[in-house]
Structure 1
């Protein structure tokens, strides 16, 4: 079972790495083609547009190379057997955020080629999300304490029961002798 899981992760990582390698240059080419087809008046791009592109290309290039490095499966050169599957690129957390930044960068590159430089405002999602996560997980609990929406602090919390436990509870309420004998056995 474990070997199947390792092979599945390695296969998923290899396909993600192919996407990352294509994503490094394809959005740039698509942006240029869209700019030529739909926005010839914007050729050559302004200095501001080039600066935005360069400022976003290098972090995306760095993140892409980082994900390729940590996710590349290692194989034995002679036999081709899998030595290490690399880090799971489908895991939540930092890896997921790296992919989100890459996807937003690629969308902004293509969108600016098709619709104009105003499309780069979409890139503001990244710092806004970072501020939201910082506020909700660090600042707000530190200064205002954790507040669970909809629950009252003094109300007793009912533990959720499984279907089997619920069925046993109902039998016990009916006075089923099988349940009472079980509870007696468990107590002794």
Structure 2
């Protein structure tokens, strides 16, 4: 069963790696084509436009190479059997954020080709989301505490009901009830 899962992840990773390789080339070509067809006055691109493109292309390039490196399945060159399926590129967390940055970069490249350089303002979604995540997961809990200062009525009823249950379980455990012996009381 584990082998089937590894093969499934390897297949998904191979298709994702192909998409990543195409994604580094295709948005640039589409952007240039759209500029040529829709906005000839923007050709050749200005220095600020090129600088903006390069500044955003470099992180996308490094993230793409990182994802390709960790996600590339390794196979035996002679038999073609799967040696390692690589890291799962569908997992949540940092991998997911890398893909988000790539998708926003590609959207900005294509959008700037169609609508103009102001479309690069969409790139501000990335630092704004980073600030949001930092606030909700680190800063707010550290300075404002985990919960709200005034619990709602539902919250107080729930804790009362839970504490009564815990008291019952504790009393049963003290009496030596076999139903509770194996269970531990949560605090």
The answer for the alignment partner of 1:129 in structure 2 is 129
Matching residue within 145, 155, 158 for 1:156: 158
Distance 1:185 1:86 in 2: 47
**Counterpart Cα distance in 2 of 1:120 and 1:148:** 38
| Residue 33 (structure 2) aligns with | 33
TM-score w.r.t. length of structure 1: 0.82
2: distance between equivalents of 1:114 and 1:156? 55
1:99 and 1:187 map into 2 onto residues whose CA distance is 47
* Counterpart in the other structure of 2:110: 110
Matches within 5 A, 1:157-176: 157=159
Tell me the TM-score normalised to structure 2 length: 0.82
What are structure 1's unaligned runs of at least 5 residues? 160-183
- Which whole-Å CA distance do the structure 1 matches of 2:48 and 2:157 have between them? 58
Q: CA deviation at 1:151?
A: 5.7
Question: 2:37, 2:80 → 1: CA distance?
Answer: 45
What is the deviation of 1:75?
0.4
Assess, with a 3 A threshold, how the Cα gap between structure 1 residues 150 and 117 changes in structure 2: closer, same or farther.
farther
Instruction: Describe the shift of the 1:144–1:78 C-alpha distance in structure 2 as closer, same or farther (beyond 3 A).
Output: same
Show CA shifts across 1:53-76 (max 9, x none): 000011100000000000000001
Cα offsets for 1:98-155 (capped at 9, x unmatched): 0000000000000000110000000000000000000000000000011269964643
1:173 corresponds to: none
Query: Is the partner of 2:92 in helix, strand or coil?
Result: coil
Matches within 5 A, 1:17-166: 17-147=17-147, 152=152, 154-157=156-159
Q: Which runs of 5+ in 2 are unaligned?
A: 163-176, 182-187
Report SS of the residue matched to 2:83: strand
Aligned length: 164
Runs of 4+ in structure 1 over 6 Å off: none
SS of corresponding position for 1:155:
helix
